[in-house]
Amino acid sequence: NELSGKGMGASVGVAQYGKDLIKLILSTLYESSKFKPSLVAPGGFYEKYWYDRLLQVSGLGIINVLTHHLYNLGPGSDEHLERKILDHERLSRVESIFGNLSEIIKIYGPWSSAWVGEAGGAYNSGVNHVSNRFLNSFCALLWHRLMGKKVLAVSSDVHIKDFYLQLGNVSRS
């Protein structure tokens, strides 16, 4: 999580990340499985160069969903957060990220699609009375309208223990 680009505390170079996706997820973890999962990656903050390269280095048909995290107000500790939450230009920057991702997918990975993996106004829980009221109520409304009350059963022939055992076999940068 959040290892793309500059990362959040740690990062992995794009070439290594692409190789690790293939080795750990597809080749090692699911090599004897009858079903291959849809691969959703990288789950980090969008940085154009890194994302441009990811679909190229991972290869044809590998990443089914190109995800990014969207916290367009920045950190909750920002003393200017109240001003940012009312700035329509800042809030509209989301459109350029999706435009860039759509272009990347069109050029390097037409088999893939763009999703937001995590979202909120400000990361690190925002600020009381500024970013935790409107966004939380909006997210709750959106959740109930989109998700509804049904829960689908999910199963897999891959065991979590095997996943963690394989983590030690993947190179790190």
Catalytic annotation present for 118: yes
Quickly count: other Cβ atoms within 10 Å of residue 67's Cβ.
20
Contacts of 122 (CB under 8 A, 6+ apart): 71, 73, 74, 75, 76, 78, 81, 131
Which listed residue (31, 82, 89, 118) is catalytic? 118
Greatest alpha-carbon span in the chain = 53
Amino acid at residue number 54: L
Taking only the tens place, the pLDDT of each residue in 23-62 is 877 777 777 888 878 888 898 888 889 998 999 998 888 8
What's this model's pTM, rounded to 2 decimal places? 0.67
Ordered by start, the domain boundaries in the chain are 14-166
**Domain 14-166, architecture per CATH:** Alpha-Beta Barrel (3.20)
- 10 Å CB burial of residue 73 (0-12, 13-18, 19+) is buried
Taking only the tens place, the pLDDT of each residue in 107-160 is 999 999 998 888 777 777 666 766 665 555 556 566 666 666 666 666 666 555
Catalytic annotation present for 31: no
Q: At residue 173, does pLDDT exceed 50?
A: no
Task: List the beta bridge partners of residue 45.
Answer: 69
